[in-house]
Amino acid sequence: MKKVKVTLPDGSSRKYDQGTTIKEVAFDIGPRLGKAAVAGKVDGQAVDINYAISEDVELAIITIDSKEGLEVYRHTAAHVMAQAVKRLYNDVSLAIGPTIDDGFYYDFDLEDKISEHDFDKIESEMKEIIKEDYKIERLEVSKEEAIAKMKELDEEYKIELIKDLDDDTVSFYQQGNFIDLCRGPHLPSTGKLKTNAFKLLNVAGAYWRGDENNDMLQRIYATAFYKKKGLKEHLNRLEEAKKRDHRKIGQKLDLFSLQDEGPGFPFFHPKGMVVRNQLIDFWKEEHRKAGYEEIKTPIILNQQLWEQSGHWDHYSDDMYFTEIDEENYAVKPMNCPGGILVYKDKMRSYRDLPIRMGELGLVHRHELSGTLHGLMRVRNFTQDDAHIFCLPDQIKDELSGVIQLVDTIYSTFGFKYSVELSTRPDKAMGSDQLWAKATAALREAIVDNDLDYVVNEGDGAFYGPKIDFQLEDCLGRTWQCGTIQLDFQMPERFDLTYIGEDGEEHRPVMIHRAIYGSLERFMGILIEHYAGAFPTWLAPVQAEIIPITDDHLDYAYDLKKELEDAGVRVEVDARQEKMGYKIREAQVQQIPYMLIVGDNEVEDKTVSVRHRREGDLGATAVDEFKAKLVDEIEDKN
């Protein structure tokens, strides 16, 4: 029998009979690996565990305890959920059922209204399907056969998806009498799922393909794990996340509100503005140190500019428009064209470069109403953009400088982060050569800064590849905030130049970057990360003075002025309430320090200090407390 060579990720290789499956290779490498294997990657393409190897290949084994392995597991669970819904309800049409962070969902079109009260019966049916242990088989047919099959099953959404495919061959997965359009891979049988390690979470409306002009479908969100412990930990995190919901905390702390008169347009209250302005001041301070100059560009610009930049072709569906002097204008969805015009406003020399322009720019995007979510998904937000125009031989240093600035800012908030390198999307501007050059430069910067990273294929911006920074909050959730995008396209489209050492015109390189990403979203993340208990430097009120009786009010207000003069944000609770009530109220408002003043404090010129977490810290001289508090604020501890 013909032999094939299998090359493994470590560079080693082995010979196998043609037709050997990935599962057999995994067990040959090691019994433990074989038991954990759920799929494989053949020459970079994910395939099923029973895939038969027919030629020399590079092979990576996907195990259940990996991110990719869990996606295979959850994708299988999504099909089981779809099969259960088809069994329980009449006239169900299937839409899509992808995996997402921490779980999966499936969109259904059916007359019956599904609610969370129906989850028990759907879960019970899923358990039956798992117990029946149907073999999961991959079927590959022509595009015409696939359309005919879906017409036979009256699956109109699947027909639309198939017609949009570029491939002539279409793959399905079948388990029992259930069949679904899918590229895979999947587990080998439904019985590989655990009956006690999945959970349906909630149901919501979702427009087909995200277009509000299309049908409204019912989307069931769920999650699955390969161990019961994983599900239990996840459900505990969800409960904790509910307590930390930034919308509830934002209302309780009087930080911001969302009004019916402006859906998706948040209103920031005085205390919320304190937090917001502290974030802005910190951003400005660190950028000044890093050599950035601040600019501000208009919110509304001519349509022709957006056509020239390429945003018109890629973002027009999400933009707002107006007409001025019988010409078409658009509200900016991004800041970069404005920054380009500032660069182009005068002749530049190679001696001027690099030029680092920072902008806290207000942008607007028309998000669908169903996707709006507090500060996390809004229709207007402030991007902390910066655009760097540099010489080709400055790219490496400039990228490293941005990475170091990102680290400085994220570390201040106590965030861990991971890095993704996002490559060329299907709809992109520019040549393969420029994209390869830009991608290689980003990869080199990541490696030079000793950062681990993963490649996110096809998720780059339309004008260039990017580095994305994923923050990890205290619940282990990740948030994509910072980004660095290397752009050779915009300088070409806008004919940007500088005069080189040779006296000739040359093309600069443009780096787009953001660190907060969106000031509004970053603030929402911080609210949930800290559960409203901001570090002292960010807290809207840093100290609350609580006089025991009215006799102590004069001392309280004298103390307030002294602290305010030192730059502390401080209030006096002069209400006619019991001291215990006032202390509890200050703790509910997450005020870091409560300063109790009574007869002893007035006489000794001290304060009795309570901390929101540590409780009673005892009496302290005013000067000593003030110095400690000012140091804590300045150091951003």
**Active-site positions?**
336, 365, 383, 385, 387, 466, 512
Token pair for 340: 């380009």
The CA-atom distances, in angstroms, between 420 and each of 63, 404, 455, 468 are 21, 16, 6, 5
- Using an 8 Å Cβ cutoff, are 610 and 593 in contact? yes
- Using an 8 Å Cβ cutoff, are 298 and 567 in contact? no
Q: How far is it, in rounded angstroms, from Cα 456 to Cα 442? A: 13
Unique residue bearing structure tokens 């990403």:
517
Q: How far is it, in rounded angstroms, from Cα 168 to Cα 149? A: 15
Q: How far is CA 34 from the centre of its chain?
A: 34
Q: How far is it, in rounded angstroms, from Cα 464 to Cα 486? A: 6
Neighbours of 465 (CB within 10 A): 27
Neighbours of 174 (CB within 10 A): 16
234 is in an annotated binding site: no
Cα-Cα end-to-end distance for the chain: 68
What angle separates helix 67-88 from helix 119-132, to the nearest 10 degrees?
110
b/e sequence 152-173, b meaning 16+ C-beta within 10 Å: eeebbbbbebbeeeeeeebebb
DSSP secondary structure string for all residues of 461-491: BTTB-EEEEEEE-TTS-EEEEEEEEEESHHH
**Which amino acid does the sequence have at 248?**
K
The CA-atom distances, in angstroms, between 333 and each of 361, 492, 628 are 10, 21, 44
Token pair for 189: 């049988």
Strands 593-597, 543-547: pairing is parallel
Q: Across the beta sheet with 466-472, what order do the strands follow?
A: 293-294, 355-364, 380-390, 509-514, 478-487, 466-472, 416-422, 453-456
Question: Which residue stretches of 378-431 are H helix?
Answer: 395-412
Strands 593-597, 606-611: pairing is antiparallel
246 is in an annotated binding site: no
- The helix/strand/coil state of 511 is strand
DSSP class of residue 51? P
Question: Which residue stretches of 89-140 are H helix?
Answer: 119-132
474 is in an annotated binding site: no
Please state the residue numbers annotated as binding site: 336, 387, 512
